Amino acid sequence: MRREGSAGAAQSDRQQEPLRTEFEFELPRGFVDEAGTVHRHGAMRLATARDELLPLRDIRVRENPAYLSVVLLGRVITRLGTLPSVHDGTVENMFASDLAFLQDFYRQINAEGHTRAAVACPHCEESFEVELAGSRLGES
């Protein structure tokens, strides 16, 4: 049985919510600082166009495009544990699994509402949403 309007209702509810610009996360392993303290809980803000454009001028990114995600994440992570600040140097010293987690988290919060599509099962006609995202970080 097909449910009419369920995807539209979800979209309507989303439109009535206040805009959320910062999102909490917990790293799978955690960043270990110089004193040996592990920092796992943090927050990331929504990226702006400037956040995605400025790293393209960075010489490290020009020499190695893979460095784009490190510079970009260093700009949008607002808090990590008790660290006084987070920057690209912090991100480049994270475990690979935490970097992968943050790249995925970035995609999720910055593509909200743009990478999901309402579809219906061709057999039972049940409505549901699918995730269409899959681009690399910084390529919105």
87, 74 Cβ separation under 8 angstroms:
yes
56, 68 Cβ separation under 8 angstroms:
yes
91, 99 Cβ separation under 8 angstroms:
yes
28, 104 Cβ separation under 8 angstroms:
no
Q: What would the mean pLDDT of 106-115 be, rounded to a whole number?
A: 79
The secondary structure of residue 12, as a DSSP letter, is: H
Got the DSSP string for 71-107?
Answer: HHHHHHEEEETT-S---HHHHHTS-HHHHHHHHHHHH
When mean pLDDT is compared across 104-108, 112-116, 122-126, the lowest value belongs to 112-116
pLDDT digits (tens, 9 = 90+) for 62-100: 999 999 999 999 999 999 999 999 999 999 999 999 999
Is the pLDDT at 132 greater than 60, yes or no? Answer: no
Comparing 30 with 20, which gets the higher pLDDT? Answer: 30
45, 21 Cβ separation under 8 angstroms:
yes
The three-state secondary structure class of 3 is coil
Is the pLDDT at 114 greater than 60, yes or no? Answer: no
Q: What is the rounded end-to-end Cα distance, in angstroms, of the chain?
A: 35
Is the pLDDT at 37 greater than 50, yes or no? Answer: yes
